[in-house]
Structure 1
Amino acid sequence: MMGIMNQQQQEPINKTAALEALSPFLNNPRRTIIQVEAFTTVVIMLLLLQLILGSFRRQSARPLVQGGTWVAYTLSFPAIAYTLGLMQSSPVKNVMYPIWAVSLLMAAGCTNAVKVYELGDNKQWKRGLFNVYQYAFYVTLISWLLFPYSLDMKKYFHQYFNRLALLKSPAVVISSLGLIVTVTALMGRELACVLVERGYFFSVGRRVAKFMKKPPAQTGPDPATDMMKGYKYPVHFVGFGKDGNVITIDQILRCEGRLLSSATDHSKRLKDTCMAFAGYQLLKQRYYGMALTEECLDETRDFLFKGLLQTEDDYERAFKIVEMELGFCHDHFFTKHAIIFELETAFFCLFLVRIVLIATVVSFVVKSTLSVKTISAIIEVHTKRTDDIITVLILGSILLIEILQAASYLASDWCKVSVICRYVTSSCYQHSAFIEKLISYLSRLAIFGYWKNSIGQYCTAYGSSPDLAGHKLQSAKRAIVRSLISCDGLPTNGEGSLQRNGVFGEFSWALQGQSHSEIMLIWNIASEYCHLSHYESELSEASENVKEAKFNRRVSHSLSRYCAYLMNSVPELLPGNFGDTKLAMDDVEDDFSRALESPSSAYEAIYELQDQEEGYTSIFMRGMQLGKQLEAMPDRAICWKILADFWAENILYIAPTDNVKGHLELLAKGGELLTHIWVLLTHAGVLKINREKDENTMPRRQPSEENV
């Protein structure tokens, strides 16, 4: 009895609780509108942040750029899902809901500035496809607010088609915009991810592979005319035909149109851009695990050494082509440029339609012609002037993002290749001065760089150092190309450079009986020792060629610290087990820490440490002994030349690797010089080096007293 009375007493309390739960909607429905409005604005701000920071990813490794892009990319999708769900599930409705919903759909799949953040995100294309359908479903339900509930839709559309007044109907315009956005999202973001993950099965990837398997027709480059005579590397496939519809680098270089036949720097840049695109087409084969037909062919080596690197002074051009090639790779794996390139006409038609529809929706908002026409049980909240202003700003931001992304593509190398291919295959283009000027103007547009254009520096004694750029980076590139030309074959672990300098017998002990990571650490310690030595001041007196000696000192110092940076930051790109590399680095740093704990200066501490241990068993002590042996040479210029040549060949030796994904992941984090060298060697036919043979053929021995 008492239980029944208690239950009856509790019933009014439960009803009161239910009314209190509904009170935010009944008493203050405006709160829900403000919440939806705020979330929509935040999503658009995140989209702008993606556009700004994401555009600088490939040329900056700064935490602000990388971390900010990740935050904007990661938070935008759950925010979009939550906001669309809130608009659909809440009984509070506003006439701006359909516009905000379409804006969120555009942010999710159409105008998103970053296709994927990491290379592995391309594998999530099925999830992305599901999300697009989910968002489109929510937008469709929300858009029904603008349609009369009991209207015959066939009669409604027929009425507007007869009047040719579709653009006067807010419901039709907003629904059409949602449909166009959904189609563009599927073609852009999701199809671009499928293109990466199923690239081998797409017609372009298969056609490139089949085309390159044909018997080579190369006859070698002609240095006198700078024409890659007979090189049939594919640039672009037109239509769905076979051989007759492929544009090769040979066709572009031999085009007789005034735009390409002139010997101007502008013409050469256009040809180099197409050459880089042809290299990008071939480089994708390594990502998909396909055999490179041009591997180990004499024609392949001639293309690099007799075409691009005829002399050491051509290093800038060779590295510039590699930069453009890696730029294409970055855009293929991380942006939508590749799919836009393949479906260029369709994308720009959809772009123009979206611009017209967005502008029309803006006019509806400004004229206040929107109204809720459904008779469903809802709580309608009328708009205020603030809602109109915020909606116009949201649509204006999306319009701006659309235009900026279209301009980014028009200023990209993809557009340059596209117009050049059209120019080569169309005689009317070649005879039109206006079109040539237009192509010339487009080809001069450039907004962003290709990579961070600097190399990391790490000192085993003091930790990270400022990155090197400018003339120091150029000096390193020149030295690398000089060593590549001098190798005349596969690079060695340093043995070749020592033999060319005639000192292999004296320093061969520093290359024997250990992993290559240990060898690099030994030579790195020796380089630091020589750099810190007070004998450096005698360089100008001891050397006849001071300029060359300073060049070698700069190269040895920068490449030595760059290799230490690679061992510390990206050991997975280096030969051997990266865990062992990190352990060796830790051991050397511990030795340096003990040395620098001495109350004397850092210089004296390093000099005195050699007397604190017996023998030469540790990496640190072997590096110190090598440093003292180099320091004891009568001519400091020879010392710097030995070190510069060793490090230039060493970085060529460690670059070939099968870790293709590791290199491509770094393209979105500023890039690495090691990746550029990896590509350069790939086009020279050097894909791998048997480093185990180098480690196992020489027994380990200690430096003799005479050498020390």
Structure 2
Amino acid sequence: MWREWNLRVAVLISLFFQVLLIFIAPSRKNTKNRIVTLLVWGAYLLADWIAVLSVGLICSGQGNDCDEYCVKDDLAAFWAPFLLLHLGGPDTITAFSLEDNELWLRHLLGLFIQLAAVVYAFWQSVPNQFQIPTIFMFFAGTIKYAERTRALYLACFGNLKHSMLPTYALLIKEVKLMLDNIPFGIANGKELETWDEESLTPNPLTDIDVVKNGYMFFQIIKRLIVFLTFTFPERHKSRKIFLEMTCKDAFRVMEMELNFMYDALYTKMVVVQRKIGYAFRFICSVLIVVSFALFASHHKHQLQPLDIVVTYTLLIGAVGLDFVSLVKLIFSNYTIVSLNNSNAEEIVFAIKERLSFGERCQRSNFVSQHSLISDCIINEQFKWFERVVDFFGLKDFFDEIQYKRNSPLTDDLKEFIFMEIKNKALQAEDPEYSKEICSAKGNWVLSQYDCLHPSIVNSVKREVEYDHTLLIWHVATDICYHKNEYSDEEKNSQNREFCKILSDYMLYLIVMQPAMMSEVEGIAQIRIQHTYKKAKKVLKSHMNVKPPNIFENFKKFFQSRQSELMLERIVACQILGLECNVAECGCKSVLFEGCNLAKELNKLGSERRWEIMSRVWVELLSYAATHCGGLAHAQQLNKGGEFITFVWLLMAHFGLTERLPIGSCMVGTTH
């Protein structure tokens, strides 16, 4: 019975995965939900597997004797090209991760193998009563599969970097223009200050302006993904425009840049939005519709009724998926960018918003949070459960469920970060000075304040490793935040809340996104484990920790305990602030240094304390943003993205990068 049904079931399952992917794949760019990611990952892998299996079933069944319930060879050969369409995949996903783009050669080989298999199946069925529609569908499937392979090739790291490398002639031309049009002081690293006022971005930006500016800046920031840097004109243009923008508009433009970046790295848009892409898409659509019409007009009295239903399902699915892809392509941001008619732009944008298919991105509205002290409390209560999930290799997955929480990212916090970085940018017209600012990890901020205790200043010295500084300030922030003698005014302090959100966010990145933070994390994982042990030791001796009850804790694991955990966390922080000493913590431990830092910070006036701490946290965030490679930021786009990526883009647009713009060395040596 399975032999009679396997092919029919396989081709329908293959179609189901295509429908699933075209609608759910875009959702992964604006959610960090692990269930959504798991669903997309499973559908992405199974879609290719079931399509290849189906082609194999067709080839193995051709020419074999079978009973009346088997699929006829003519019809099976007609089904085979549909699987090429499925292997081409929807426009909404070509790669699940960046690493998939590096496998474009394997996909190219797969293209040739599957084409050969489909041709073989067709050859075995000759003479075939569905010969013409089969040939038309074959060419349509070939186009779709080739589009996917081409998209993977264009998004691979080597090709991306090669396509953006400036030619020697271009560099010479740029330097010549700079020397001809700027005062001679440019030779000492000064930047061009002339600017066409008409080219400044209007303020505030309309939705159309956001799309067009997002695309313009995407063409520039692509360089950062492959470890290149801006040219002088690009840095100048980007810096000027962003200095004129409001915080709200800047984040909207950066959101759009990330949309374009996601499309270029994970979808077919970079292939199909070109003129030749539109031409092939039109040809493909015509071929599919003509195949449908030819099959519908053909005599089918020799076919099983069930097979006719399956064939029409495949045809309707092909037409429907192609129609959805075509509509999404026509009413896309790329179309808006290519139009020069304001009325047409408004119409396309309005329709695009209505047909967004859940693709509206809100990457910058939430940040993940993780607290070292909360981790200590929960870890002690669920130690038994951790051993079980660790045995099955699921520890990281359940750690996110247990320890991670989301906090809304308010407009006030965005504005605060934006203004902090903007104020630095205004002082960093010289690229060399901007490099110095980027290397600061709290010391630049503290240098602006007098009479600070040496332990505060020493915690951010250049010699101290970044992860060490971050952990010290995280412990200190938790203790200061949960201090029990705050006035109502201080409890409502914005800077106090900013510190807590940024502190927990940075620890989340270090603990749960180590791959992204690999450039700055040092031996953070070792330090964190050591600090956990020290904190647990102190807390156990001063808190009433009951022996764990396995059934009670299993029940608690699946219940919301936010209020209870918050109370325990406050008590824990107050204990650490009062009881942590050299004997228990060790004079060289992060925990002791954090507690000592908290004591010195608490001696400052309330307003001054939280102002200093919030500015230090922005500088620590900025340091991590610029020192994480562009590739690390790009790898997060398919998982909902990270807020630190916005900070990375913002600093780049303000000209705050460690690498000097292209041409600076050449110009700097001209005298």
Partner of 2:459: 510
After alignment, is 208-217 or 73-82 more displaced? 208-217
| CA deviation after TM superposition for structure 1 residue 324, in Å | 1.3
Distance 1:517 1:38, change over 3 A: same
Please report how far the alpha carbon of residue 307 of structure 1 lies from its aligned counterpart in structure 2 after TM superposition. Answer: 2.8
Match of 2:50 in 1: 79
Q: CA-to-partner distance for each residue in 1:351-404, whole Å, 9 max, x for gaps?
A: 344334434444555566248xxxxxxxxxx64322222332233223222222
Q: Deviations over 1:536-585 (max 9, x none)?
A: 3x142xx6xx8xx6211111110011111111122344475646111112
Return closer, same or farther for 1:205/1:115 CA change in 2, 3 Å cut-off: farther
Give secondary structure in 2 for the equivalent of 1:369: coil
Mapped contact 2:78–2:130 kept (Cα < 8 A): no
2:261 — aligned with what? 329
1:64 lines up with 2:35 in the alignment: yes
User: What TM-score results when the alignment is normalised by the length of structure 2?
Assistant: 0.76
Contact 2:85 2:141 in 1 (8 A): yes
Matched, 1:283 2:221: yes
1:141 aligned to 2:120?
Answer: yes
Query: Once the two structures are superposed, what CA deviation does each residue of 1:296-355 show, in whole Å capped at 9, x if it has no partner?
Result: x7x836742x432347xx1121122122112211111111111122x33x3334434433
CA distance in 1 between counterparts of 2:329 and 2:446 reads: 48
Distance in 1 separating the partners of 2:279 and 2:168: 28
Write the distance in 2 (CA, Å) between the matches of 1:443 and 1:213: 41
Q: Cα gap change, 1:264/1:212 in structure 2, threshold over 3 Å: closer, same or farther?
A: farther
Q: 1:613 to 1:412 in 2, by over 3 A?
A: same
Q: What letter matches 2:446 in structure 1?
A: L
Q: Structure 2: 5+ residue runs without aligned partners? A: 183-191, 376-402, 429-436, 545-570, 661-671
2:428 counterpart of 1:449? no
Residue 237 of structure 1 corresponds to which residue in structure 2? none
RMSD: 3.5
How far, CA to CA, are the matches of 2:164 and 2:624 in structure 1?
32
- Cα pair 1:539 1:637 within 8 Å, conserved: no
Once structures 1 and 2 are overlaid, which stretch shifts more, 646-655 or 614-623? 614-623
- What's the CA shift string for 1:217-254, capped at 9, x where partnerless? 799xxxxxxxx99879xxxxxxxxxxxxxxxxx99x58
Query: CA 1:212/1:136 → structure 2, altered by over 3 Å: closer, same or farther?
Result: farther
Letter in 2 for 1:308: F
Distance 1:418 1:229, change over 3 A: farther
Cα offsets for 1:634-667 (capped at 9, x unmatched): x423222221111112211222126222111111
Mapping 1:55-454, distance limit 5 Å: 55-90=26-61, 91=64, 92=66, 93-94=71-72, 95-109=74-88, 111=90, 113-144=92-123, 147-148=126-127, 170-186=130-146, 188-197=147-156, 199=159, 210=170, 214-215=174-175, 253=199, 268-294=206-232, 300=235, 303-304=238-239, 306-310=240-244, 314-341=246-273, 343-344=274-275, 346-363=276-293, 369-370=299-300, 383-419=303-339, 423=340, 435=344, 438-439=347-348, 441=350, 447=356, 448-450=359-361, 452-453=363-364, 454=366
Closer, same or farther: CA 204–409 of 1 in aligned 2, 3 Å: farther
Aligned counterpart, 2:666: none
> Counterpart in 2 of 1:483?
420
Task: Determine if contact 2:18/2:47 at 8 Å carries over to the other structure.
Answer: yes
Distance 1:586 1:501 in 2: 33
1:504/1:606 Cα in 2 relative to 1: closer, same or farther (>3 Å)? Answer: closer
Structure 1 residues 575 and 315: CA distance shift in structure 2, 3 A: farther
Matched letter for residue 64 of structure 1:
I
Q: Distance in 2 between matches of 1:59 and 1:209?
A: 41
2:503 to 550, 560, 571: 560
Q: 1:470 to 1:561 in 2, by over 3 A?
A: closer
CA contact (8 A) 1:110 1:189 kept: yes
Letter in 1 for 2:32: A
User: For the structure 1 residues 301 and 629, does the alpha-carbon distance in structure 2 shift closer, same or farther, using more than 3 Å as the test?
Assistant: farther
Which one has more relative contact order, counting CA pairs under 8 Å at least 6 apart?
A: 2
Distance 1:660 1:75 in 2: 30
**Using a 3 Å threshold, how does the CA distance of structure 1 residues 203 and 594 change in structure 2: closer, same or farther?**
closer
- Rounded to whole Å, the distance in 2 between the matches of 1:670 and 1:202 is 28
Aligned equivalent of 2:596, options 625, 631, 650 = 625
Q: Tell me how far apart the structure 2 counterparts of residues 109 and 585 of structure 1 sit (CA, whole Å).
A: 45
Q: Is the 8 A contact 2:538 2:585 kept in 1?
A: no
Matched with 2:441 is 493
Query: 1:119-173: per-residue Cα shift (whole Å, max 9, x none)?
Result: 1211211211111122122222323466427xxxxxxxxxxxxxxxxxxx84212
Seen in structure 2, the aligned counterparts of structure 1 residues 81 and 565 have a Cα distance that, compared at 3 Å, is same
Q: For residues 120 and 97 of structure 2, what CA distance do their matches in structure 1 show?
A: 33
Alpha-carbon deviation of 1:182?
0.4
Deviations 1:36-85 (A, max 9, x none): 01111111222222223311121112111211111111122232222211
Which residue in the other structure is 1:653 paired with?
A: 623
The Cα of 1:685 is off from its aligned counterpart by: 3.0
Q: CA deviation at 1:291?
A: 4.6
> Using a 3 Å threshold, how does the CA distance of structure 1 residues 80 and 483 change in structure 2: closer, same or farther?
same
Which aligned pairs between 1:635-674 and structure 2 lie closer than 5 A? 635-657=605-627, 659-674=629-644
User: Structure 1's 624 and 288: CA in aligned 2 closer, same or farther, altered over 3 A?
Assistant: closer
**212 and 386 in structure 1: CA distance in 2 versus 1, 3 angstrom threshold:** farther
Question: Per the alignment, do residues 534 and 213 of structure 1 end up closer, same or farther by CA in structure 2, a change over 3 Å counting?
Answer: farther
The 3-state SS of whatever aligns with 1:686 is coil
Say whether the 8 Å CA contact 1:495–1:504 is kept in structure 2.
no
CA distance in 1, matches of 2:345, 2:217: 25
Deviation at 1:411, TM superposition (A): 3.7
Going from structure 1 to structure 2, the CA distance change for 1:302 and 1:283 (only over 3 Å counts) comes to: closer
Distance 2:203 2:577 in 1: 56
1:663-702 aligned at under 5 Å gives the runs: 663-688=633-658
Assess if the C-alpha contact under 8 Å between 2:422 and 2:654 holds in 1.
Answer: no
Partner of 1:693: none
Cα deviation digits, residues 159-216 of structure 1 (max 9, x gap) = xxxxxxxxxx842122112113203321x11111222235358778768994896246
Determine what percentage of the aligned residue pairs are the same residue: 18
Q: Output the CA distance in 2 between the equivalents of 1:564 and 1:678.
A: 18
> Residues 203 and 595 of structure 1: is their aligned pair in 2 closer, same or farther, counting only changes over 3 Å?
closer
Cα distance in 1, alignment partners of residues 416 and 319 from structure 2: 48
**Alignment gaps of 5+ in structure 1:** 1-27, 150-168, 220-227, 233-249, 255-259, 372-381, 424-428, 691-708
1:599 has 2:578 as partner: no
Aligned residues: 569
Cα contact 1:451–1:671 (8 A) shared by 2: no
Distance 2:193 2:46 in 1: 52
Q: Is the 8 A contact 2:95 2:266 kept in 1?
A: yes
Counterpart Cα distance in 1 of 2:16 and 2:639: 23
Give 1 or 2 for the bigger CA radius of gyration. 1
SS of 2:317 mapped into structure 1: helix
Contact 2:538 2:584 survives alignment (8 Å):
no
Distance 1:550 1:509, change over 3 A: same
Read off the aligned partner of 1:199 and give its amino acid letter. N
